[in-house]
């Protein structure tokens, strides 16, 4: 299935009926198959198959583009059978890349604003004009030491290092990601245990998997993980899914546990307590494996630090630690879990049975879900990993790996150092422990800190629509003194791009270069995204030039754009910036993509040798296969003996250990204690902002769960796919039948959902697939645009009126989706009108005081729509959202820490400014 230095490609993936599912690589240059559209005539088509990578979610699945040799155009996308992560499979969004390439509404030429920002008037410009104007502004900010006024804000990176290196080369601490509306919380929980901030479940040998996620339908590394979960289930793995909502994943599980949102850590800690009690009674699995792996814990948990801090006068022995452990968690009873989580009291015993039966072959996953919804959600990740620590299922086959083992991260040979300043708009001192930037707070931080951005790049990033409190983003973008120039780098229109000054069309997945790797299993690989038609031209012996020559219109790939912009910023090299993007072989010339990615390919372990065996250069190998399986470093790497660093164990040996200050798994976190969170220094349970005790159900109050995806859509990026939008274009409010009766709601009727800062009007879906007391609404639809042909895909967005009355914004739908004339006859067949409601606008920012994560779940009041309410209405008061921001900020424990720094130095900061900037 995989292809790499040690492993030759196996025969292509077969269907269960022994039919070939994908052509083998040796036939990619000359693949022939019958044209299904010509049936019943048997007409043969000839293809050149070019591998690339999907850009629709973060999984980086391999795609194979079928270029029709007769037309020179891409006919379809299917899975790349030699990609080690996705193994030839895709989800629906992979093949739908074709819609995005052929989208008749995509932006094909660079545009610049005419009139006031946000009025919807743009005119075509040239790349040269855009480069000159933007380059001059960035240069001025650098020369005048206003580096903090340049920011690059990214939604979907789709690459592993390029812009981080670029910002470092420019000397600008300006890389802002979307992480704290996504995964900051789970990352925090994992990082405090082991330094690694992402999970990599090994389903291959697991006997029991516990998912706090919906991985069989959406979720992190969805397709690569879903296929491995299903394979494991086929060979007998048991599966439990903790999800308030009956997801497709839950429907495949042996146990579906519908917890009250935010109570999950309690359930996990009750299982921990039960494990400890059963172990004390001598209970074992079927092969005599004890419930608790004492030897693993004795070796790898920082129990001595815990006892020193929390058991003064105690014996200081491991046995004493186990006693204290039992005492610490005695309060998390099965009865308590039943009450707190609103589940049956048997759940704790049932899941503990599964864990013990698994005998250490236990894996789990949590990424968004419970972690991303709740105050203290990071403790859900910490409590989940606690179960792995207790069972010793860390770094073992069928267990849980730190992500860094399973992700390859090749880089160019030369990397610039970190910037010489610390940007408080990214890492403000109020959130010293955050993972990562406080990106969703940007408007509030600009107003609070009385700062401005002179050049603000948004790249595949749509904060007006994706983030909470989008109305504050609109206000910020409408203030010329706050945002000097907004450059939207995007393949398609978005709500945010409506407020751009420059709209620059960037290549889609099959129109650009990137190197990517993800931790999809116990193995590691790199995938290579390449511009398909450029590679096709190269195969034909044509000198294709840059990607604008082969992409539609004047669409450019981002990497080439950044190189060109860097040369505008530093044309003569005097700033010392240009040299990072200068050709080594052709001094005085910009680096080409072949040179840039050829350098990286040469640095991938094992790739040069594998390529040489086929008579190829390393980059030629990636261009040919689209992926490479990097020789795997194996599991249990913490046990590797080292000469320095790492952890010194009880037996006196020095081992590689984990990336924490003690080198061990930090059950007790001295960092949390020292930075003001002593009460949270152990895995613990924090009551959510939507705890059921905080709701008065008799007054219509409910918990709104807004965090789930639709399997066929992906945030901003899938709006321009006609196939996907035909399948999914609504986001009704899930309401339990008991609640529908109590609240007077009817199926398909209109409902008003009031948050702390406004309300929205949705349709009702009465279903038993949701916990009573909780309502749910997906965030994947509800797109809108202010102008008929500018601002959004007509088949996926509503045309709206947007009005301000003082601080209050009202959005009302003027016209839904529907058919329209274009070069594509399918656009006349658009039969759907309602395209959902934009609920995120009505959410205040709720940044967790530790992780910085947006706590997405909302306390809402649900009622039948009032007279005059219309479907899709959104009303929001930005003054109230400012109050919410201040209220949540008051929960923080600001820096400096005990050593006078802004942030513990051992915690990751993706772009790390020089050491001198860390002190306050």
CB of 627 to ligand SF4, least distance (A): 13
Nearer to ligand SF4, 54 or 242 (CB): 54
Nearer to ligand SF4, 54 or 770 (CB): 54
Nearer to ligand SF4, 86 or 168 (CB): 86
CA nearest 477: which of 453, 505, 510? 453
CB of 188 to ligand SF4, least distance (A): 25
CB of 514 to ligand SF4, least distance (A): 12
- Radius of gyration, alpha carbons of the chain: 27
Nearer to ligand SF4, 63 or 385 (CB): 63
Q: Report the distance separating Cα 338 and Cα 422, nearest Å.
A: 46
Q: Report the distance separating Cα 888 and Cα 678, nearest Å.
A: 19
- B/e letters for 791-824, b = 16+ CB within 10 Å, e = fewer, are bbbbbbbbbbebeeeebbbbbbbeebbbeeeeeb
CB of 77 to ligand SF4, least distance (A): 9
Nearer to ligand SF4, 222 or 918 (CB): 222
- Entry field: residues in the chain: 920
Q: 169 to each of 173, 436, 489, 704, how far by Cα in Å?
A: 10, 21, 20, 44
Nearer to ligand SF4, 94 or 201 (CB): 94
CB of 80 to ligand SF4, least distance (A): 10
CA nearest 269: which of 356, 355, 386? 386
Nearer to ligand SF4, 157 or 872 (CB): 157
Nearer to ligand SF4, 62 or 732 (CB): 62
CA nearest 630: which of 532, 530, 518, 512? 518
CA nearest 175: which of 151, 143, 197, 200? 151
CB of 526 to ligand SF4, least distance (A): 15
CB of 224 to ligand SF4, least distance (A): 7
Nearer to ligand SF4, 328 or 514 (CB): 514
Nearer to ligand SF4, 156 or 233 (CB): 156
Nearer to ligand SF4, 59 or 707 (CB): 59
CB of 58 to ligand SF4, least distance (A): 7
Please classify residue 584 by burial: count the beta carbons closer than 10 Å to its beta carbon, then call 0-12 exposed, 13-18 middle and 19+ buried: exposed
Contact residues toward ligand SF4 (CB under 6 A) are 54, 56-57, 59-61, 86, 90-91, 93-94, 222-223
Distance, first Cα to last Cα, the chain: 52
Q: Report the distance separating Cα 278 and Cα 291, nearest Å.
A: 7
* DSSP assignment of 395-408: SSTTSEEEGGGG--
- Strands (DSSP E) found in 346-470: 362-366, 400-402, 453-459
Nearer to ligand SF4, 61 or 438 (CB): 61
Q: 32 to each of 15, 182, 285, 533, how far by Cα in Å?
A: 19, 43, 54, 18
CB of 436 to ligand SF4, least distance (A): 21
CB of 56 to ligand SF4, least distance (A): 4
Nearer to ligand SF4, 45 or 93 (CB): 93
Q: How crowded is residue 132: how many other Cβ atoms within 10 Å of its Cβ? A: 13
141: left (phi over 0), alpha (psi -120 to 50) or beta: alpha
Helix (H) or strand (E) holding 282: none
CB of 86 to ligand SF4, least distance (A): 6
Residue 267 token pair: 């359930």
Q: Report the distance separating Cα 864 and Cα 247, nearest Å.
A: 26
DSSP code, position 838: -
CB of 506 to ligand SF4, least distance (A): 18
CA nearest 228: which of 554, 486, 1, 549? 1
666: left (phi over 0), alpha (psi -120 to 50) or beta: beta
CB of 70 to ligand SF4, least distance (A): 27
Residue 123 token pair: 């005119």
Q: Is the dihedral of CA 266, 271, 272, 278 positive or negative?
A: positive
């Amino acid at each position: 299935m995989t292809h790499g230095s040690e492993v030759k490609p196996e025969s292509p993936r077969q269907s269960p009926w022994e039919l070939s599912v994908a052509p083998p690589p040796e036939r990619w240059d000359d693949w022939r198959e019958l044209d299904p559209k010509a049936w019943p005539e048997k007409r043969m088509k000839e293809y050149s198959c070019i591998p690339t990578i999907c850009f629709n979610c973060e999984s980086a699945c391999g795609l194979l583009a079928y270029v029709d040799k007769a037309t020179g155009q891409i006919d379809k996308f299917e899975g790349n059978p030699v990609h080690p992560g996705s193994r030839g499979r895709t989800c629906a969004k992979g093949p739908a890349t074709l819609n995005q390439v052929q989208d008749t509404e995509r932006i094909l030429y660079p545009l610049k604003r005419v009139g006031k920002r946000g009025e919807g008037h743009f005119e075509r410009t040239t790349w040269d004009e855009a480069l000159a104007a933007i380059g001059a502004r960035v240069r001025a900010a650098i020369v005048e030491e206003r580096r903090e006024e340049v920011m690059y804000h990214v939604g979907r990176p789709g690459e592993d290092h390029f812009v981080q290196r670029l910002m470092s080369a420019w000397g600008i601490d300006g890389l802002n990601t979307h992480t704290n509306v996504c995964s900051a919380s789970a990352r925090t929980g994992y990082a405090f245990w082991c330094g690694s901030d992402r999970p990599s479940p090994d389903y291959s040998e697991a006997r029991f998997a516990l998912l706090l996620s919906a991985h069989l339908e959406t979720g992190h590394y969805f397709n690569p993980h879903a296929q491995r979960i299903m394979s494991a289930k086929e060979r007998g793995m048991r599966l439990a899914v903790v999800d308030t909502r009956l997801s497709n994943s839950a429907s495949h599980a042996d146990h579906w546990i519908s917890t009250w949102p935010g109570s999950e850590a309690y359930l996990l800690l009750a299982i921990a307590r039960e494990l400890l009690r059963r172990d004390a009674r001598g209970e074992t699995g079927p092969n005599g494996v004890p419930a608790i792996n004492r030897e693993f814990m004795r070796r790898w948990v920082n129990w001595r630090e815990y006892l020193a801090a929390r058991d003064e006068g105690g014996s200081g022995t491991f046995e004493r630690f186990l006693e204290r452990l039992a005492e610490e968690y005695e309060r998390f009873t099965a009865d308590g879990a039943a009450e707190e989580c609103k589940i049956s009291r048997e759940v704790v015993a049932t899941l503990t049975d599964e864990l013990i039966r698994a005998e250490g072959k236990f894996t789990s996953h949590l990424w968004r879900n419970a972690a991303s919804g709740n105050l203290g959600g990071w403790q859900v990740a910490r409590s989940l990993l606690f179960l792995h620590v207790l069972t010793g299922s860390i770094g073992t086959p069928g267990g849980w790996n730190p992500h860094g083992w399973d992700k390859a991260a090749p880089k160019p040979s030369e990397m610039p150092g970190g910037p010489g300043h610390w940007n408080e708009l990214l890492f403000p001192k109020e959130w010293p422990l955050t993972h990562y930037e406080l990106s969703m707070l940007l408007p509030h931080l600009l107003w609070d800190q009385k700062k401005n951005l002179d050049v603000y790049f948004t790249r595949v990033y749509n904060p007006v629509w994706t983030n909470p409190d989008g109305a504050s983003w609109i206000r910020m973008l409408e203030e010329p003194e706050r945002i000097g120039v907004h450059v939207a780098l995007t393949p398609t229109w978005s709500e945010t791009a409506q407020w751009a000054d420059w709209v620059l069309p960037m290549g889609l997945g099959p129109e650009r270069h990137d190197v990517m790797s993800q931790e999809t299993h116990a193995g590691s690989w790199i995938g290579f995204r390449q511009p398909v038609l450029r590679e096709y031209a190269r195969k034909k012996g044509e000198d294709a030039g840059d990607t604008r020559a082969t992409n539609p219109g004047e669409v450019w790939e981002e990497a080439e754009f950044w190189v060109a912009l860097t040369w505008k910023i530093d044309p003569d090299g005097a700033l010392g910036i240009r040299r990072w993007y200068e050709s080594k072989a052709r001094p005085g010339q910009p680096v080409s993509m072949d040179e840039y990615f050829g350098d990286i390919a040469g640095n991938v372990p094992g790739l040069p040798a594998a390529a040489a065996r086929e008579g190829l250069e390393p980059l030629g190998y990636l261009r040919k296969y689209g992926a490479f399986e990097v020789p795997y470093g194996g599991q249990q790497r913490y046990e590797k003996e080292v000469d320095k660093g790492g952890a010194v164990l009880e037996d006196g040996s020095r081992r590689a250990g984990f990336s924490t200050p003690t080198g061990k798994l930090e059950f007790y976190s001295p960092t949390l204690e020292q930075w003001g969170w002593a009460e949270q220094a152990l895995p613990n349970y924090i009551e959510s902002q939507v705890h059921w005790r905080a709701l008065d159900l008799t007054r219509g109050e409910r918990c709104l769960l807004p965090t789930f995806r639709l399997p066929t859509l992906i945030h901003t990026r899938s709006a321009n796919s006609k196939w996907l939008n035909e399948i999914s274009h609504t986001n009704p409010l899930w309401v339990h039948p008991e609640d529908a009766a109590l609240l007077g709601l009817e199926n398909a009727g209109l409902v008003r959902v009031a948050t702390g800062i406004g309300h929205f009007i949705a349709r009702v879906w009465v279903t038993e697939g949701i916990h009573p007391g909780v309502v749910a609404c997906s965030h994947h639809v509800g797109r809108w645009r202010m102008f008929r042909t500018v601002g959004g895909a007509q088949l996926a967005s509503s045309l709206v009126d947007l009005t301000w009355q003082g601080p209050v914004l009202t959005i009302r739908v003027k016209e839904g989706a529907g058919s329209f004339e274009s070069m594509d006859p399918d656009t006349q067949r658009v039969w759907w009108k309602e395209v959902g409601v934009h609920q995120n606008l009505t959410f205040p920012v709720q940044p967790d005081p530790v992780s910085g994560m947006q706590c997405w779940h909302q306390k809402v009041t649900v009622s039948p729509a009032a007279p005059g309410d219309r479907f899709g209405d959104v009303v929001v008061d930005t003054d109230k959202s400012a109050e919410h921001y201040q209220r949540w900020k008051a929960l923080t424990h600001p820096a400096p820490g005990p050593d006078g720094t802004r942030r513990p130095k051992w915690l990751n900061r993706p772009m790390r400014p020089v050491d001198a900037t860390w002190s306050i």
